[in-house]
Amino acid sequence: MATGGEAFLSVEFEVIGKVQGVFFRKYTHRNAVKRGLVGWVQNTERGSVVGIMQGPENEVKDMKRWLKKTGSPKSRIERCIFKDEKPIPNKEFKNFDIIR
């Protein structure tokens, strides 16, 4: 459980733009771990990056901003779609993984 009895937040994401071949998954992993988030990130055949992140609400919101505005140094983010955002009582993953 999060501190203060708060629920964790879970959200799915898809980042569209120049996000493959620019270490986007590596930087996403690094930023998620730094924020104490769990979940995964993966390239798609469509050229986007998808994933799920779970953790304390403020950290998930910060990560959403990072995915939308920053990304990896050589990425060019056109848009970011978030869906199925919901509070959860416990994290459903142990780590934040890069799926190859």
Tens-level pLDDT at each residue, the chain (100 residues): 444 566 899 999 999 999 999 999 999 999 999 999 999 999 999 999 999 999 999 999 999 999 999 999 999 999 999 999 999 999 999 999 999 9
DSSP assignment of 10-69, as one string? EEEEEEEEE-SSSSHHHHHHHHHHHTT-EEEEEE-TTS-EEEEEEE-HHHHHHHHHHHHH
- Report d(CA 81, CA 35) in Å as an integer: 20
Would you tell me how many other CB atoms lie within 10 Å of the CB of residue 35? Answer: 17
Nearest to 88 by CA among 57, 44, 46, 45: 57
Indicate the CATH number of 3-8+24-99 among 2.30.30.30, 3.20.20.100, 3.40.50.720, 3.30.70.100: 3.30.70.100
Is residue 94 within 8 A of residue 36, CB to CB? The reply is no
Residue positions annotated with a catalytic role: 25, 43
